[in-house]
Amino acid sequence: MTLAELLPSTGCSTAPALEPGLWPDGTLLAGSDLVLGGVPATRLAAQFGTPCQVLDELSVRARAREFRAALPDAEVVFAGKSLPCPEVYRWMAQEGLSLDVSSAGELALARAAGFPASRIVMHGNVKTAEDLKAALQHGVSRIVVDSVDEIGQLGALARHGQEVMIRVTPGVDAHTHAAIATGVEDQKFGFSLASGAALDAVLRVAGQPSLRLVGLHCHIGSQVRHVASYEEAARRMVGLIASCGVPVGQLDLGGGFRAPYLPGESSFDLFGFAHRVRGTLHRECALRRVPVPRLLVEPGRAIVANAGVTLYRVCAVKEGTRTFVAVDGGMSDNPRPSLYGARYAVRLVGRGGPTKPVTVVGRHCEAGDVLAENVPLPADVHAGDLLAVPVTGAYHHALASNYNQVCRPPVVAVRDGVARPVVRRETEEDLLRRYP
Ligand code: LLP
**pLDDT by position in tens, the chain (length 436):** 444 444 444 444 578 899 999 999 999 999 889 999 999 999 999 999 999 999 999 999 999 999 999 999 999 999 999 999 999 999 999 999 999 999 999 999 999 999 999 999 999 999 999 999 999 999 999 999 999 999 999 999 998 899 999 999 999 988 778 777 777 778 799 999 999 999 999 999 999 999 999 999 999 999 999 999 999 999 999 999 999 988 899 999 999 999 999 999 999 999 999 999 999 999 999 999 999 999 999 999 999 999 999 999 999 999 999 999 999 999 999 999 999 999 999 999 999 999 999 999 999 999 999 999 999 999 999 999 999 999 999 999 999 999 999 999 999 999 999 999 999 999 999 999 999 9
Pocket test for ligand 1, best of 301, 339, 343, 396 (most atoms within 8 A of CB): 301
CB 280 within 8 A of CB 347: no
pLDDT at 13: 58
256 Cβ inside 6 Å of ligand 1: yes
pLDDT at 201: 97
pLDDT at 256: 97
167 Cβ inside 6 Å of ligand 1: no
Buried b / exposed e along 97-130 (16+ C-beta atoms within 10 A): bbbbbbbbebbebbbebebeeebbbbbbeebeee
Query: Could you tell me how far CA 100 lies from the centroid of its own chain?
Result: 11
User: Which helix (H) or strand (E) segment is 376 a member of?
Assistant: strand 370-378
- Measured between alpha carbons, how far is 273 from 412 in angstroms, rounded to an integer? 32
Q: Calculate how far, in angstroms, residue 301's C-alpha sits from the geometric centre of ligand 1.
A: 7
Coil/strand/helix, residue 40: strand
Residue 407 known to be catalytic:
no
User: Which helix (H) or strand (E) segment is 205 a member of?
Assistant: helix 197-206
Domains of the chain, residue spans: 3-56+305-432, 57-303
Q: Calculate how far, in angstroms, residue 385's C-alpha sits from the geometric centre of ligand 1.
A: 33
- Was domain 57-303 assigned CATH 3.20.20.10? yes
CATH node for 3-56+305-432: 2.40.37.10
pLDDT at 177: 81
Pocket test for ligand 1, best of 222, 392, 396 (most atoms within 8 A of CB): 222
301 Cβ inside 6 Å of ligand 1: yes
pTM of structure: 0.96
Query: Could you tell me how far CA 153 lies from the centroid of its own chain?
Result: 29
CB 412 within 8 A of CB 345: no
Strand partners, 400: none
180 Cβ inside 6 Å of ligand 1: yes
- What secondary structure does DSSP assign to 271-325, as a single string? HHHHHHHHHHHHHHHHHHT-PPPEEEE--SHHHHGGGEEEEEEEEEEEESSSEEE
Q: Whose C-alpha lies nearest to ligand 1, atom 6?
A: 255
Q: Calculate how far, in angstroms, residue 76's C-alpha sits from the geometric centre of ligand 1.
A: 14
